[in-house]
Amino acid sequence: MSNLVEIQDLNVNFRTPHGQVHAIRNLNLDIPQNKILGIVGESGSGKSTVIWTITRLLASNAVIESGRILFDGHDILQLEEHELASIRGDKMSVVFQDPMTSQIPVLSYGRQMTDIQHRHRNLKANDKRQNAIDILKRVGIPDPEQRVDQYPHQFSGGMRQRVSIAMALMMDPPLLFADEPTTALDVTMEAQIIHLLRELKVELDATIVLVSHNLGLIAELCDEVAVMYAGEIVEKGSVQQIFYDPVHPYTQALLECDPARVLKQTRLLPIIPGDMPDLHDIAKGCEFAPRCSQSLDLCHLKPPSEHHLKDGQTVRCHLYSDGEMSSRVPLADAQASMPTIGEEALQSNRSHHTVGATLLDVSDLRVRFRTMGGLSALMKAVKDPHVDAVLDASISVRAGETVGLVGESGSGKTTMGRTIQGLIQPHSGSIRFDGLELSGLSEAALKPIRRNISLMFQDPVG
């Protein structure tokens, strides 16, 4: 099997006021052609940094201390900026984790997608526009002929993420990096994206690197999996090896912390004690040793080497030697030693839960948005240039009650929340909070009320 990307002895640091952060350390990773490689690990383990290093999109305070990254026969770390510009978008592309920081808010999606084509293809303007419409339709954007002319702020968080995927697929790149591609997507859209990535792999012989915290997504989509911890790959193998026969204690602990594996009859949720290490200072031994239930004295004194086990599986751990394990603790025993959040805490939570009178009462709420101006609507023969984001919605919430609002991306959940707080004016309907009608109140009248209606935004940046 040939490799599309080969990473050799990569070390990446970040300069900070408190010293160097050793984000990637002695990393070796082969990305096989026409395969989907998943990279998993806790936040701060270095997963995204691997992607930004390969694409040369690291922050200005990053320093690539050493290493090589071979792509299509070239060392990416030696390429000039104009050479990288011809590769990005055409030969390799990225689905960014946060669509609001990767999209241009003052340009329509159609303009952004035609600009991508302009850099890499010599096409007529009409062909570029049609290509943009086609790819939006492919990722499940409804009414793409009209929405291609809209702006990021006119889309829900989930729909913005779909457009990010569409933009990454614009040039059918042979190498696609997907950094949490299903963030903010509902389960229906997530299934469509999984199907789309599979199609891309088959139709274009594409190679995909998928970074995700969603272990179910990794298990369903990937051929191989690399597990990262504190800037190192601690285990790598086929998806079957990682999920059915994990060998590194961290991999075992990570899998057992998946909420989908919690037993309903006990309702016990295993956790990994402690936190990720401070990467300003490199430990003498294994970085995971302070949190590991299977650690040996040697683990705190000497960093482990990488060992090659059967069928290509590798592990960086003192419990193993090449081709065999020395003193592995069975998975069931390792799980039993992990702390849990159990029934006692849940019962305590229930005992303090009381519900009072109705605090919020929303009746027949309707919120409308104009999709285009009057002249544009007239030229395109649009009968009604409006869309009903919320239509005749009613909900009642009592004091002390927690109510979940669920639905597919673009179904109006966020719009309803913003309207209740007064950030969006409703077209019609009633919003009563603590007996007071909020609809129609001035900004001055709403200001003291907003102290009692707080909104945690979906996107902390946008």
Stretch among 58-72, 74-88, 248-262 having the lowest mean pLDDT: 248-262
Alpha-carbon distance of 411 to 264, in angstroms, equals 30
239 with 376, same domain: the answer is: no
* 234 against 89, higher pLDDT: 234
Stretch among 346-350, 367-371, 403-407 having the lowest mean pLDDT: 346-350
| Percentage above 70 pLDDT, the chain | 86
Q: What is the DSSP letter of 77?
A: G
Alpha-carbon distance of 288 to 145, in angstroms, equals 51
Strands 36-40 and 224-229: parallel
Q: Are 226 and 37 in contact (CB under 8 A)?
A: yes
240 with 338, same domain: the answer is: yes
One-character DSSP codes across 365-418: EEEEEE-S-HHHHHHTT-S--EEEEEEEEEEEEETT-------STTSSHHHHHH
200 with 306, same domain: the answer is: yes
* 121 against 265, higher pLDDT: 121
Residue 134 pLDDT more than 90?
yes
Phi then psi for 319, rounded to 5 degrees? -75, -5
When pLDDT is cut at 50, 70 and 90, the band that residue 340 belongs to is: very low
347 with 213, same domain: the answer is: yes
* 233 against 157, higher pLDDT: 233
132 located within any domain: no
Residue 335 pLDDT more than 50?
no
* 239 against 195, higher pLDDT: 239
Q: In the prediction, which pLDDT does 18 show?
A: 92
> CA nearest 207: which of 76, 42, 30?
30
Q: In the prediction, which pLDDT does 346 show?
A: 42
Alpha-carbon distance of 309 to 247, in angstroms, equals 10
Residue 331 pLDDT more than 80?
no
E strand spans, 188-285: 207-211, 224-229, 232-238, 269-270
Q: Give Cα separations from 77 to 104, 200, 282 (angstroms).
A: 27, 27, 25
Phi then psi for 167, rounded to 5 degrees? -65, -35
E strand spans, 231-376: 232-238, 269-270, 306-308, 314-316, 320-321, 324-325, 340-341, 358-370
Stretch 85-98: mean pLDDT, rounded?
89
159 located within any domain: no
Tokens 């570029």, residue?
Answer: 128
Q: Which of 335, 351, 367 is the last residue of a domain?
A: 351
Q: In the prediction, which pLDDT does 341 show?
A: 43
Q: In the prediction, which pLDDT does 122 show?
A: 86
110 located within any domain: no
CATH number for the domain that contains residue 309:
3.40.50.300
When pLDDT is cut at 50, 70 and 90, the band that residue 162 belongs to is: confident
122 located within any domain: no
* 333 against 14, higher pLDDT: 14
How many folded domains does the chain comprise? 2
314 with 409, same domain: the answer is: no
Alpha-carbon distance of 227 to 246, in angstroms, equals 10
When pLDDT is cut at 50, 70 and 90, the band that residue 260 belongs to is: low
**How many Cβ atoms are within 10 Å of 187's Cβ, its own excluded?**
10
Residue 149's DSSP bridge partners are none
Stretch 189-210: mean pLDDT, rounded?
83
Q: In the prediction, which pLDDT does 281 show?
A: 87
Maximum CA extent, the chain: 77
- pTM of full prediction above 0.85: no
315 located within any domain: yes
308 with 433, same domain: the answer is: no
Residue 369 pLDDT more than 80?
yes
120 located within any domain: no
347 with 407, same domain: the answer is: no
Q: Is 392 left (phi over 0), alpha (psi -120 to 50) or beta?
A: left
Q: In the prediction, which pLDDT does 264 show?
A: 63
Residue 287 pLDDT more than 90?
yes
Structure token digits, residue 245? 């026969």
Stretch 140-153: mean pLDDT, rounded?
93
* 168 against 330, higher pLDDT: 168
433 with 384, same domain: the answer is: yes
Residue 74 pLDDT more than 70?
yes
When pLDDT is cut at 50, 70 and 90, the band that residue 344 belongs to is: very low
Residue 349 pLDDT more than 90?
no
Stretch 287-298: mean pLDDT, rounded?
94
225 with 368, same domain: the answer is: no
25 with 60, same domain: the answer is: yes
> CA nearest 131: which of 146, 114, 150?
114
Q: Which of 351, 386, 404 is the last residue of a domain?
A: 351
Alpha-carbon distance of 374 to 377, in angstroms, equals 5
When pLDDT is cut at 50, 70 and 90, the band that residue 8 belongs to is: very high
Helix (H) or strand (E) holding 188: helix 187-204
**How many Cβ atoms are within 10 Å of 46's Cβ, its own excluded?**
22
338 with 378, same domain: the answer is: no
Strand order across the beta sheet in which 306-308 lies: 92-95, 175-179, 207-211, 36-40, 224-229, 232-238, 314-316, 306-308
Q: Are 147 and 136 in contact (CB under 8 A)?
A: yes
Stretch 245-257: mean pLDDT, rounded?
93
196 located within any domain: yes
Structure token digits, residue 218? 């990794």
Residue 316's DSSP bridge partners are 306
Alpha-carbon distance of 159 to 170, in angstroms, equals 16
80 located within any domain: yes
Stretch among 95-104, 162-171, 348-357, 372-381 having the lowest mean pLDDT: 372-381
Q: Which of 351, 367, 398 is the last residue of a domain?
A: 351
Mean pLDDT score of the chain = 86
Stretch 37-57: mean pLDDT, rounded?
95
Domain span at residue 308 reads 1-91+173-351
190 with 53, same domain: the answer is: yes
